Amino acid sequence: MLKKMMNRTLWQGTVLAVFLVFAFLHAFDNIYPSAHALCPFGGLVSLYSIITEGTFVHRTHGSSLFLFVAVLLSALVLGKIFCGWFCPLGTLGEWSRKLGKKLGVKKYEIDGLPDILLRLVKYVLLAVILYFVWSMGVLFYKGWCPWSAFMTIFEPDELIEDILMGGIILVSVLGLSLSIERFFCRYLCPLGAAISIFNRLSFIKPRRRSVCSGCKACEKVCPVNIKIASMEKINDSNCIRCYKCIDQCQEDGSLSFNLRPLKSYQAGFIAILIMGITIISTIQMGYWERGRTLFAQSMGRPGYMEEIDREQQGEQYYSDNGEIVSEGQAFQSDQNGREQLAIEDLDEELQDITAMTTLAEISEQTGLAEEIIYNIWDLPDSFSPDATLREVIDYSGLSRRKLLALLSEEY
């Protein structure tokens, strides 16, 4: 039963489907996670600002940090298994090659010096991204990010206006993957570069035994073109821990895990447990709340502390139907009622405000001074007038409808 459940292709498809569902839901209501909230790389780029200021880089969330922690823990035990079993972009790259085979596209391998130089690109990208994000405090690369493009597939307006280059890069990478399997993973992925060292440090790793006959069946199925047959320990930094080499080995016991008699599907199950426990536990602790601060979930959420204060006071209020409720509940009910009324009565100027409308344009459309808009939405003075409503949504954790409802009260 476990072996059937841990079929890697089935698991890859499940994870990919989950991300597509979130992308679809986010397109219609921003209460659901965005691309930045579901990207473990966002946790890495936020590390410096978290350590120095206790805040996340703008547009990233607590969820991204703890996804990164989950990736690190699984990598510490098993190496880059996130790349081979979980990453949607990796799955798309792998499946693109499968499609290429069916279409008759010839497989092409880059070898020698060109391959070595190209493999260095992802490390250069990692260094450049971390330097500028940590020094500037913004995701300067978001418009070029293929992951953001993938997660906004159901939001064509944002994809075209905000992440066009990311979409072009994504399509280009998938096109190249028709003949060069996992092109993005091999040469461009900064997250893969960041965790590559764990292939050497991990507790569990594939290794070769002395009974190898040199058939090279393992090399023929390797998606990243590692010369496995000549290695004793399979700890190459590019290995994505898909374990296809172990499953394909024709010599019983020749290629296996250093912890015998562990099987590939059991290693996958261990990774799922590690990541699942990390994610579920951090959700339960409340660290997935959207916002800018790690331990103060209230930042960027107007009215949150008022709700907490009122509920903690334990004062009694009567609802419309006469039931006794806490003041916090009454406050929230009142907020919801006013918000619903505002949504129904939105003026045409407010209805025309999209996720890509800037604060300056919102001020012009509504006739409200920028200072008033900043105050209504509880935005810091450092927020640029050129920032879009999408950025306000990501900052505040409120949906477009909720923000416009708040705006309508002053309009």
Check whether 71 has a pLDDT greater than 80. Answer: yes
Give φ, ψ of 122 to 5 degrees.
-65, -30
pLDDT at 1: 65
Check whether 319 has a pLDDT greater than 60. Answer: no
Report CA 321 to chain centroid distance, whole Å: 43
Residue 47's identity, in one-letter code, is: L
- By CB atoms closer than 10 A (0-12, 13-18, 19+), residue 91 is buried
Burial 235-245 (b: 16+ CB within 10 A, else e): bbbbbbbbbbb
Q: How many residues does the chain have?
A: 411
Model pLDDT for residues 177-220, shown as the tens digit of each residue: 999 999 999 999 999 999 999 999 999 999 887 777 778 888 88
Model pLDDT for residues 326-337, shown as the tens digit of each residue: 433 433 444 444
The domain limits of the chain are 2-205+260-284, 304-408
Taking a C-beta distance cutoff of 8 angstroms, is the pair 83, 169 a contact? no
Model pLDDT for residues 246-278, shown as the tens digit of each residue: 988 877 778 889 887 888 989 999 999 999 998
Model pLDDT for residues 7-45, shown as the tens digit of each residue: 899 999 999 999 999 889 888 776 777 787 888 998 899
Query: Region 138-159: what's the mean pLDDT?
Result: 85
Separation in Å, CA 290 to CA 376, 390, 397: 19, 14, 5
Taking a C-beta distance cutoff of 8 angstroms, is the pair 183, 173 a contact? yes
- By CB atoms closer than 10 A (0-12, 13-18, 19+), residue 313 is exposed
Taking a C-beta distance cutoff of 8 angstroms, is the pair 400, 29 a contact? no
Please name the residue that has the structure tokens 């079929």.
Answer: 7
Token pair of 211, please? Answer: 């009974």
